[in-house]
Amino acid sequence: MKSPKSLTDLFEKNRHQSHLVQYQQKTKDFRAIKSLLSEYLDDNIAQNIIVCNFKNSILYLETTSAAIATAFKMYQSRILSQVRREINPATVTIEMKVSPKSTLVVTPKANDNKTNTADNEGLNQPLRSSKSIPSDVADSITSIAENSDDKLKQALLRLARHKPTSS
C-alpha cells in the first residue's frame, strides 16, 4: 500500500512543478468550469452537474439524472467552445456520465449526535414516491399485454394492476 506524501514532498522546489501547484491549478480550473456552466446553462441543469476530471484534453462531467444529461447535450457545443476560449484551448471533448449515486449527500440532523442506523438504512435506496402508475399508462400496458406471450403477459398485467384505485 502506498503511503501518503509528506508536506516536504508536496512543497519540494527542485522539481519542475510541484504536485501541490498542479492540484491548485486543477482546482482553479474546476471552479472556473463550474462557474462557466452556471453562466451558460439553466440553473436546474448547472446545479446538477459535477466537474469530475480533466484528463487527456477531455473534460469529464457527472450528473445523477439522464434528463439533465440530455438537456446538457443541447448546450454541449457552446460549453465546449467557451471552455476552449476561457479555460483550456486544448480541450477536445466533453464526456457526461450519468451516475444516480454520484451526488448523494448525507447531512446529519441538527440535534442528533449519534448515528441512527434505522434512519440511514434507506439512504442508498432509490426514492419511490408511490406504488401506483397513472391510469392511462396502466391501460396501455394492458393493451400491450393482450398481444404478448404468456410469461410476458402475466408480468405486464401484474404491472398494470398498480394503477391508482378510484376514490
Residue 30 has pLDDT above 80, yes or no: yes
Q: What is the reported pLDDT for 83?
A: 93
Residue 130 has pLDDT above 60, yes or no: no
Residue 117 has pLDDT above 60, yes or no: no
Class of residue 51 by CB neighbours under 10 A (exposed 0-12, middle 13-18, buried 19+): middle
- Residue 122 confidence class, pLDDT cut points 50, 70, 90: very low
Residues of the chain with CATH 3.30.300.180: 17-98
Could you confirm whether domain 17-98 is CATH 3.30.300.180? yes
- Residue 109 confidence class, pLDDT cut points 50, 70, 90: very low
Phi-psi region of 87 (alpha: psi -120 to 50; beta: other; left: phi over 0): alpha
Residue 34 has pLDDT above 80, yes or no: yes
Query: Would you say the pTM of this structure is higher than 0.85?
Result: no
